[in-house]
Chains A and B, each alone.
Chain A
Amino acid sequence: MRNRTKIIFLFILAVISILLYGFYDIKGGFDYAFPRRMIRVAAMIITGVAISYATVVFQTITQNRILTPSVMGIGSMYEVVQTVIYFFAGSMSIWIINKYLNFGVALVAMVIFALLLYRFLFRADKYPIFLLLLIGMIIGTLLGSLVSFMQVLIDPVEYLGLQSLLFASFSKVKAELLYIAMGIVLLSLIYGSFIMKKLDVMSLGRENAINLGINYDRLVMNILILSSVLIATSTALVGSITFFGLIVANLSYQFFSTYRHSILIIGASLFSITALVGGQFIVEHILELRTTISVIINFVGGIYFIYLLLRESRSTA
Chain B
Amino acid sequence: MIEIKGLTKQFNKKTVVDDVSVSIQPGTITSFIGPNGAGKSTLLSMVSRLLDADTGEVLLDKNNVKKWKSTEFAKRVSILRQANFLNVRLTVRELVSFGRYPYSKGRLTAEDNKFVEQAMEYMNLMDMQDQFLDELSGGQKQRAFIAMVIAQDTDYILLDEPLNNLDMKHSVQIMKILRKLVNELGRTVVIVLHDINFASVYSDNIVALKDGKLVKNGPTNEIINPEALREIYDMDIPVQEQNGCRICVYFNSQTP
Known interface pairs A207-B50, A211-B74, A212-B74. Does A197 touch B87 (Cβ–Cβ under 8 Å)? no
> Nearest-CB distance from A268 to chain B (Å)?
15
- Which size bracket describes the interface of B in this complex? 20 to 34
* Chain A residue, CB-CB nearest to B149: A211
CA distance A206 to B99 in the complex (A): 15
B102 contacts the other chain (Cβ, under 8 Å)?
A: yes
> Nearest-CB distance from B52 to chain A (Å)?
10
Contact of A203 (CB < 8 Å), options: B74, B85, B87 = B87
In the assembled complex, 30 residue pairs joining A and B whose CB atoms fall closer than 8 Å, in A order, are A63-B87, A196-B106, A197-B105, A201-B101, A201-B106, A203-B86, A204-B88, A204-B98, A206-B50, A207-B81, A208-B84, A210-B48, A210-B49, A210-B70, A211-B48, A211-B74, A211-B149, A212-B99, A212-B152, A213-B70, A213-B71, A213-B72, A213-B73, A213-B75, A213-B101, A213-B102, A214-B70, A257-B89, A259-B88, A259-B89
Q: Could you mark each residue 79-93 of chain B with 1 if its beta carbon is under 8 Å from any beta carbon of chain A, else 0?
A: 111001111111000
Residues of B within 8 A of A212 (CB): 74, 98-99, 101-102, 152
A64 contacts the other chain (Cβ, under 8 Å)?
A: yes
CA distance A207 to B149 in the complex (A): 13
* Chain B residue, CB-CB nearest to A65: B87
Q: What's the tally of chain A residues with a CB closer than 8 Å to chain B?
A: 21
Q: Which residues of A contact B (CB under 8 A)?
A: 63-65, 196-197, 200-201, 203-208, 210-215, 257, 259
CA distance A212 to B73 in the complex (A): 9
> Nearest-CB distance from B142 to chain A (Å)?
14
Q: Which residues of B contact A (CB under 8 A)?
A: 48-50, 70-75, 78-81, 84-90, 94, 98-99, 101-102, 105-107, 149, 152
Q: Which of B72, B80, B94, B106 has the most CB of A within 10 A?
A: B106
> Nearest-CB distance from B231 to chain A (Å)?
32
* Chain B residue, CB-CB nearest to A207: B81
Further contacts, 18 of them, CB under 8 A, given A213-B73, A259-B89, A259-B90: A197-B101, A197-B105, A201-B101, A201-B106, A206-B50, A208-B84, A210-B49, A210-B70, A210-B79, A211-B48, A212-B101, A212-B152, A213-B70, A213-B71, A213-B75, A213-B101, A259-B88, A259-B94
Residues of A within 8 A of B74 (CB): 211-213
Which secondary structure characterizes the binding site on chain A?
A: loop
Residues of A within 8 A of B72 (CB): 213
Residues of B within 8 A of A204 (CB): 86, 88, 98
Task: Please determine whether B94 and A211 come into contact, CB atoms closer than 8 angstroms.
Answer: no
Residues of B within 8 A of A214 (CB): 70
> Nearest-CB distance from A295 to chain B (Å)?
32
CA distance A65 to B87 in the complex (A): 9
Residues of B within 8 A of A208 (CB): 84, 98
